[in-house]
Structure 1
Amino acid sequence: MTEEVDVVVVGAGISGISAAWHLQNRCPGKSFVILEGRDDLGGTWDLFRYPGIRSDSDMFTLGFRFKPWTSEKAIADGPSIMAYLRETVAEFGIDRHIRYGHRMVAADWSDADNRWTVHVERGGERVEISARYLMACSGYYDYDRGYSPEFAGAQDFEGPIIHPQHWPEDLDYTGKRVVVIGSGATAVTLVPALADSGAGHVTMLQRSPTYVGALPDVDPFTVRTNKTLPTGAAYVVNRWKSILFQSVQYQLSRRFPRFMRRTLMTMAQRRLPEGYDVARHFGPSYNPWDQRLCLAPNGDLFETIRTGRADVVTDTIERFDRTGITLSSGQHLDADIIVTATGLNLRLFGGAVISRNGEVIELSDTMAYKGMLLTGMPNLAFTIGYTNASWTLKADLVSEFFCRIINYMDEHSYIRMEPRHPGGGVDERPLLDFTPGYVLRALDHLPKAGSRAPWRLKQNYLLDLQLIRRGRVDDEALEFGQSAVTTTIPSSSL
């Protein structure tokens, strides 16, 4: 028997929790379920268990708009974030809607029925749920496996080779020589965490450097506002201070890249030993924010290097051997444990097959409207957060806008909505204007963006407030339909 609900939300991480709260708050008459393939909520924050796991965005923006983050600590560890998410779902009754161990494996839209049939794996069996709307809130990572390039001689290494996405709970690295391959946020987090928790020595081995900025994990501004203002007011002030800081930093980086490069290099130089080759190890060949800027709370990475508990080696790998890694320069890195912090794989919709009337839809054939709706996929929204700011800022906007669409459809007796492909009038662009390896590897399999709004977003929360939060639902780019006949909506404004 097929269960029927109004909305299926896929994923119980930050995006899914945001979707649930907005549905309850803005569409209180709609029934919904949250399908979570794992055994716990949290998404990324449940998946990653490596030492030192923490936010790389401040919690005043990674936290929800509707649920104040009350701690003065802006950069929080994974367990604190999980506690916050658990408190949120319990406080708002969202936990009653979550079905753990339910993985969406396929979803098919029927033009005849104007509904989605969601195929779900649950404890070894398949079940179906029929829904008017589908919200894909499963992020864009492949939760089953991280990206692990093949290294010559890996089979010869006598110690464990570990990807951070699959960190063993019983790994003992006390007194061990650990080589962390990579230079992204995971490596920047792991190196000081391992050194601080008993590793003998940690080496960060990178093919090329990444920009690393240092900020205090407790902001003095936040301490003052929390002492002088009521909790709600303090959260609003702290949140907007963080939003504006992020926006200004990003815009400065894009408009004045040389200035920001010099600023970041100087910041690193002041925290590293005298004579340290900052340009080689912390001076990327690209401009700031061509890739995501890494964060070192309180400059912990620099402090660990300065005290000699860790070092950075910039070189390429020739091969693994029995006792470590031989580099192209001829240098040998002795290792007891090797950690491959080499990145992630992208996978939208959790790898589920999306179809329409039984015909599989290739994501690369679709175009994204406002970065949240896809051509050819009626009554569906998906969430991808910002690459230059907190994921949650975008997740909340997506949830809010889709709820506005649902309510608009109810008011006008529409039962179907989908973006109309703009055709040749809009040039295709990559969905993510971002150049890290995990994005470049997946571009051919992702939806397209367009050359102009609303098919192109600028990774700017302040602009998106106007385009999404205050933008019209009755947009000419959207088609709304009644029964089997699709009609272009009237030009009247909401």
Structure 2
Amino acid sequence: METLDLVVVGSGIAGLAAAKTYHQLNPEKTLAILEAAADLGGVWTKGRLYPGLKSNNMLGTYEYPDFPMDTETFGVKSGEHIPGIVMYQYLAKYAEKFDIADKIRYQHKVLTAEHQDSSSSGGWILTVVNNGKEKSLRSSRLILATGLTSEPFLPDFRGQESFGAPLFQTASFQKHACTLDTAKSVTVFGGTKSAWDAVYAYATRGIKVDWVIRETGHGPIWQAPPYVTPLKKWLEKLVNTRMLTWFSPCIWGFAGGYNAIRDFYHGTAVGRAIANAFWSILGNDVITLNKYDSHPETKKLKPWSHPMFTASSFSILNYPTDFFDLVRDGTVKVHIADITHLSPRSVHLSDGTQLPTDLLCCATGWKHVPPVRFFPDGIDRELGLPHDPTKTLLFTKDALEKADDEILSRFPRLRDQPVQNPKLKSPLDTEGLSSTDKVTPYTPLTPFILYHFMIPPTNKFLQTRDIAFAGYCQNFSTAIMAHVQALWITAFFDDQLPGKTLPPLKRRLYSSEPVEDVKSLEAIEYETVLYSRFGKWRYPAGRGAQQPDFVFDALPYLDLLVSDLGLKVHRKKGWFAELSDPYGPEDYRDLVGEFVDSVEARKD
């Protein structure tokens, strides 16, 4: 059986960063990146590049800190969104530059991972399928970087066996791109960004689009212009401006300092009034700029959720022409209804409407559980992965209640939870879904419960240090986060995190000997459940109850990880720049070198 020092599962943005950083700091170690697809890239792999796909971020904010995306090489100019094919090319060049391209094994799908409990150092036996053949390999350490958009969820509609037309999820849009030339009328189901993309792609070809958004769902997402607020600020830079992040209640916000002003904004009535005004201005600006109320059809696309309680589903209008013109001129017809069933080349809605159609394209989201099955049975709980709450829980009800009490006492604004849709139901409760589909991903499970959203908070895995999860957060700062998480995970594996972050391996978590600045197991466990539980209260209009999903809290999260690494958190030159200049990839460019220097200094 082949034995490796590290296996990374997934070659998207997080997986490539994790592999690159580990290889950079441990060049003598053996490494493999196992990728189920035929090419690298994750959401940017060639097989998922549907027509018109672009990044929400514009050039300069969606790149690894140590690998700038320059205009001369990639052809994208300042102020432009990045085409999907360019993102693929960029990631391919990153893998080549940092000598990990030859470590990727394509069409290698990991089916199972079995922990070696009998070994004091842990390790994993992986079952992998390649070209229809199963094989096993052993790895001392494992990084799961499959992310939160690896396995699409496609509902099973009643009557679909007689539909007689293409029925596909947007993840497969590229495979059905020929319908852009052949279809006369189409139906798009869903209100997420990929639904908007599909609607735009078909409508700009002159194809009639019936756009169905569930009346029992979360409604249309927030779609902002690239520049927002009366000051016309670049949105993805706006959310990474330190003084603006203070308006967001954040349980890990202390990591960035300035705690007195954070306490003022969220702990006093006057401060909360100011913070509420900020969110009102931000939301009203988007509504005004998009002119939702100027037409009865565009009015249907006005977001149902409060902007403060919306996370990464807050997206950006990155289209070359005015999206809303297609709605106003009648090319796109919006239906707020549920799908009850399908019949031959027709979609039937809960309001009695029957839509003749040439296809049904579903923007219905992703399975939120990892695609790898872990053994022995029940280990999902110890790993901090979503697990059945009717069985033994990772944390007690008392721990959850304690966390809730702390969150709501520190942030009273979160007690007033918005009711964005009183008709809200799980997609599996809608009339149009068959009983055969009432399984994962919507079987109620616990959320992810990972220490700092990366590692299991249990004593066994804090001792073996043989598994981590990269890229299981959603925000606007994906590439920066991947870079910083990769360094944190490598430091964790190599037992090089400062003692105040996690106890060194040579010190037992249960040691009774007092050690200054070393976290106890109990502190690690509580902090983990506190951060996990925070999402439920902070982002009810997003996916915060299931997974780390945040926007204005991304910079404080980076602060937390950089602080964990023992490095400088405030990275701007001067106090005014620190507060007002947006953070970007350039601010973390030398992070790996800084960490290497700090490790050497600690040795001395």
Provide the TM-score with structure 1 as the length reference: 0.76
Residue 187 of structure 1 corresponds to 195
**Is the CA contact 2:245–2:553 (under 8 Å) kept in the aligned structure 1?**
no
| Distance apart, 1:395 and its partner CA | 1.5
Higher strand content, 1 or 2? 1
1:325 aligns with 2:412: no
Residue 101 of structure 2 corresponds to 95
3-state SS of 1:247 partner? coil
- Give deviations 1:213-260, integer Å, cap 9, x for gaps: 1227xxxx99xxxxxxxxxxxxxxxxxx77642235776687433322
After superposition, the Cα gap between the structure-2 partners of 1:258 and 1:457, relative to the gap in structure 1 and judged at 3 Å, is closer
Residue 119 of structure 2 corresponds to 112
Residue 287 of structure 1 corresponds to 307
| Distance apart, 1:15 and its partner CA | 0.9
Residue 16 of structure 2 corresponds to 17
After superposition, the Cα gap between the structure-2 partners of 1:277 and 1:288, relative to the gap in structure 1 and judged at 3 Å, is farther
Whole-angstrom distance in 2 between the partners of 1:335 and 1:164 = 17
After superposition, the Cα gap between the structure-2 partners of 1:411 and 1:353, relative to the gap in structure 1 and judged at 3 Å, is same
| Distance apart, 1:128 and its partner CA | 3.5
Q: What is the one-letter code of the residue matched to 2:56?
A: D
3-state SS of 1:41 partner? coil
RMSD, matched Cα? 3.7
Which consecutive unaligned segments of at least 5 residues does structure 1 have? 223-240, 450-455, 475-491
Whole-angstrom distance in 2 between the partners of 1:79 and 1:417 = 49
How is 1:139-288 mapped onto 2 (pairs within 5 angstroms)? Answer: 139-143=147-151, 146-167=152-173, 168-169=175-176, 171-174=178-181, 175-196=183-204, 198-207=205-214, 208-215=219-226, 244-248=237-241, 255-256=275-276, 257-269=279-291, 274-276=294-296, 278-288=298-308
After superposition, the Cα gap between the structure-2 partners of 1:161 and 1:372, relative to the gap in structure 1 and judged at 3 Å, is same
3-state SS of 2:123 partner? strand
Moved more, 187-196 or 289-298: 289-298
Whole-angstrom distance in 1 between the partners of 2:508 and 2:485 = 15
Residue 236 of structure 1 corresponds to none
- Give deviations 1:432-453, integer Å, cap 9, x for gaps: 554468776xx4xx7xx9xxxx
3-state SS of 2:300 partner? helix
Q: What is the one-letter code of the residue matched to 1:7?
A: L
| Distance apart, 1:26 and its partner CA | 2.8
Residue 464 of structure 1 corresponds to 557
How is 1:24-103 mapped onto 2 (pairs within 5 angstroms)? Answer: 24-46=23-45, 47-70=47-70, 71-72=76-77, 74-103=80-109
Alignment: residue pair count: 434
3-state SS of 1:115 partner? coil
How is 1:293-442 mapped onto 2 (pairs within 5 angstroms)? Answer: 293-298=314-319, 300-348=322-370, 350-355=371-376, 360-362=379-381, 363=385, 364=387, 365-366=393-394, 367-376=449-458, 377=461, 378-379=464-465, 380-408=467-495, 414=505, 420=521, 422=523, 429-430=532-533, 432-433=535-536, 434-435=539-540
| Distance apart, 1:411 and its partner CA | 11
After superposition, the Cα gap between the structure-2 partners of 1:335 and 1:165, relative to the gap in structure 1 and judged at 3 Å, is same
Whole-angstrom distance in 2 between the partners of 1:415 and 1:37 = 37
The alignment-based identity, stated in percent, is: 20
Q: What is the one-letter code of the residue matched to 2:521?
A: R
Whole-angstrom distance in 2 between the partners of 1:384 and 1:265 = 31
Residue 264 of structure 2 corresponds to none
Residue 485 of structure 1 corresponds to none
Higher helix content, 1 or 2? 2
After superposition, the Cα gap between the structure-2 partners of 1:170 and 1:203, relative to the gap in structure 1 and judged at 3 Å, is closer
**Is the CA contact 1:12–1:42 (under 8 Å) kept in the aligned structure 2?**
yes
| Distance apart, 1:17 and its partner CA | 0.9
- Give deviations 1:12-52, integer Å, cap 9, x for gaps: 11111101221233333333221112221111222524332
Whole-angstrom distance in 2 between the partners of 1:410 and 1:172 = 52
Whole-angstrom distance in 2 between the partners of 1:301 and 1:354 = 48
| Distance apart, 1:279 and its partner CA | 4.2
Moved more, 67-76 or 429-438: 429-438
Moved more, 465-474 or 45-54: 465-474
Whole-angstrom distance in 2 between the partners of 1:69 and 1:187 = 28
Which consecutive unaligned segments of at least 5 residues does structure 2 have? 71-75, 250-274, 388-392, 395-448, 510-519, 568-600
| Distance apart, 1:266 and its partner CA | 0.7
Moved more, 289-298 or 335-344: 289-298
